[in-house]
Every structure is written in structure tokens, then in C-alpha cells.
Amino acid sequence: MRHRSVADLMTPEVVAVQRGTSFKEIARLLDEFGITAVPVVDGDGRPVGVVSEADLLHRHTSGEQGPNTNTAEGLMSSPAVVARPHWSAVEAARVMERRRIKRLPVVDGTGRIIGVLSRRDLLQLFLRRDRAIQEEILEDVVTRTMGLAPSAVTVDVNDGTVTLSGMLERRSLVPILVRLCETVDGVVDVDDRLAYETDDTGALASGDMTG
């Protein structure tokens, strides 16, 4: 299975600013391009920070004064939280959630910015058609990865929710199949209704204890 990476989802056209870019110019860029934040880059195109709408509002409402408070350098959150192009969409989403940010600059191996990933970009995954999700699970997960007969498992997909039913040979295969389905792009949830012929989980636990 090939899952979409940050490189597949990111926007390669980057709106970025320099350390000396003014408050007004940053506000204008956010409005013109309909974005919530801009990366601040050095002369080599490496992100050194990010200025968000929240940073601008904080400066405006706090009344803070100083030589740098009207430029990107004084406004930005630093260091910049960045993503790598090979990351999975799940990795990027976790970073966004953990750091409570909406946009991630994407950098190459030299640290130079090559794109930006937004929450909106990630939402593309969940717009995937149910039919495409169903076909990938049956062909890639059930048949190719798990080595099961397609007739062994019934896969229904409705608005990204996958329902699995059917009979597997061993109980230990059930959680493996469920986890693999959860990693398929576009899957929102997995409803496990699978049955099994043999409960091998007790035997496995016993073997671990005696081994």
C-alpha cells in the first residue's frame, strides 16, 4: 500500500516573508492569499519562525512597543515547527494537533522551504470516494497484504466509515486487519463485525509464558 505523503498534499507555492517584513505587509498577505500564517525565512530560504493571525492580533491588542514589534522578526513564533516531505499525513496531523498550529512549512534535506501543508490540505484525504477506499482495502489489504481470499471478508464503506464482516480463520488476524484498514487514506472509522473459526489468542499467550 502507498499512502499519501506530505509531499503529495502540500502546496508548493509558498507565501513567505523576511525578518524585516512589516506588520502591515504581513496582514495584507494573509488577507490577499486567504491564509492564517506565513513562514519567516532567512536569506537562504530556511524557515526561522512563523507569524500567524494570532501573533498579529496579540501585538495589536497588547499595545507592546519596541524596535522589532512591527516586523516579522519581533512578531514571529520561533523556532519554526516544520515537516519533512516523506512524512505521512498522519504524522503531520499529529504534529499540528500537538503544537496547536494550522500550517506547517515543509523543508528539504538542506532545511530550505519547499512547500506548506495546511489543515485544509489534510482534509483532502477525507474527501476520497468510498468506492476507492473499498477497492484499496479489498485488493491491497485483504488480498495482497493479509493473503486472504476476497470472499472471506465483506467490506462496506459509507462516508469513510468501513464495516468489516465475514469469517477469518484465526482470531489473532482480526486486530491486524482492523489496524491495516485504519491506515488507509480516507478512512474515518472501522466497525469490526468479523467472526473467526479458531481462537488462537489463548494459545499464543500460553506459548509466550512457557517460551
Dihedral angle, C-alpha 142, 160, 91, 179, nearest 10 °? -30
- Using alpha carbons only, what angle is made at residue 199 by residues 196 and 201, rounded to the nearest 5 degrees? 125
Tell me: pLDDT of 198 over 60: yes
pLDDT in tens, 115-140: 999 998 888 877 889 999 999 999 99
The overall average pLDDT reported for the chain is 89
CB atoms within 10 A of CB 123: 10
pLDDT band for 188, please (50, 70, 90 cuts).
confident
pLDDT at 125: 78
Instruction: Report how far apart the first and last C-alpha atoms of the chain are (Å, whole number).
Output: 34
48 close to 78: Cβ distance less than 8 angstroms: yes
- 11 grid coordinates: 502546496
- Domain residue spans in the chain? 6-125, 128-207
Of residues 91 and 45, more confidently modeled = 45
CA nearest to 137, candidates 88, 190, 197, 194: 190
pLDDT at 61: 79
pLDDT at 67: 59
Tell me: pLDDT of 210 over 50: no
Q: Does domain 6-125 have CATH number 3.30.200.20?
A: no
Question: How far is residue 6's CA from residue 67's CA, in Å, rounded to a whole number?
Answer: 37
pLDDT band for 69, please (50, 70, 90 cuts).
confident
Region 73-84: mean pLDDT is: 94
Which option is the CATH number for 128-207: 3.30.1340.30, 1.10.357.10, 3.30.420.40, 3.40.50.300? 3.30.1340.30
Task: Compute CA distances 146 → 168, 169, 177, whole Å.
Answer: 11, 12, 7
pLDDT at 205: 47
